[in-house]
């Protein structure tokens, strides 16, 4: 099979093939967000702002701005996403990303593309905050952060240790494996 089974169109000289229609239609008008716009999701001492979500992009991607607290450690266990890749652009601070056999000490301007099934951990090793842009493609994973926030809203005073089993269920729901 060649290019979604459309080899005959290519042979007939129709070299511009349409992409398969797998995403929802999008509005053709531009969308402009001011710097303070988006849905902010507090996550402990860190927070992220969902700038563009699945509904906005027709499911193609999600764009998030992540404000990472000083000395923040994301899940310490290597984990990977099974449904989406993510691209990260570090805007401020330093973030360490640990892959199977490589430590990346990212500084502002560093871009990382992490495909699905690629195991990693990350942390902010600095006493200063960091800021990153995240792109998840396809969209959908941005809802994970809203759901984590809801776990804490439903259980006021819950510690991260106490929340771990509930968050582990969300990992399963969103295709995160370790």
- The pLDDT tens digits of the residues spanning 109-136 come to 999 999 999 999 999 999 999 999 999 9
Cβ-based neighbour number of residue 71 at 10 Å: 13
Q: How many domains, in total, are found in the chain? A: 1
Residue 55, pLDDT above cutoff 60? yes
Specify if 26 maps to a domain: no
**Phi and psi at residue 167, to the nearest 5°:** -70, -35
Specify if 20 maps to a domain: no
Answer yes or no: pTM beyond 0.95: no
Specify if 99 maps to a domain: yes
Whole-number Å distance between alpha carbons of 64 and 73: 18
Specify if 38 maps to a domain: yes
Residue 26, pLDDT above cutoff 50? yes
109: domain range? 33-177
pLDDT of residue 13: 37
Specify if 25 maps to a domain: no
Q: What is the CATH number of the domain that holds 65?
A: 2.60.120.10
Contact 117, 25 (CB under 8 A): no
Residue 10, pLDDT above cutoff 80? no
């Amino acid at each position: 099979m060649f290019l979604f089974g459309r080899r005959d169109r290519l042979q007939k000289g129709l070299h511009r093939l349409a992409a398969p229609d797998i995403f929802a239609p999008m509005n053709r008008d531009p969308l402009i967000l001011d710097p303070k716009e988006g849905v902010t999701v507090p996550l402990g001492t860190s927070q992220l702002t969902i700038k563009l979500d699945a509904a906005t992009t027709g499911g193609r991607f999600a764009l998030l701005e992540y404000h990472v607290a000083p000395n923040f450690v994301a899940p310490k266990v290597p984990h990977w996403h099974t449904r989406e890749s993510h691209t990260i652009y570090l805007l401020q601070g330093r973030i360490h990303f640990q892959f199977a056999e490589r430590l990346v000490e990212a500084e502002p301007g560093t871009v990382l593309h992490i495909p699905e099934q690629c195991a990693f951990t990350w942390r902010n090793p600095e006493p200063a905050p960091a800021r990153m842009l995240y792109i998840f493609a396809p969209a959908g994973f941005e809802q994970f952060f809203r759901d984590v926030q809801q776990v804490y809203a439903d259980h006021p005073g819950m510690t991260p240790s106490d929340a771990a089993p509930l968050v582990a269920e969300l990992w399963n729901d969103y295709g995160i494996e370790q």
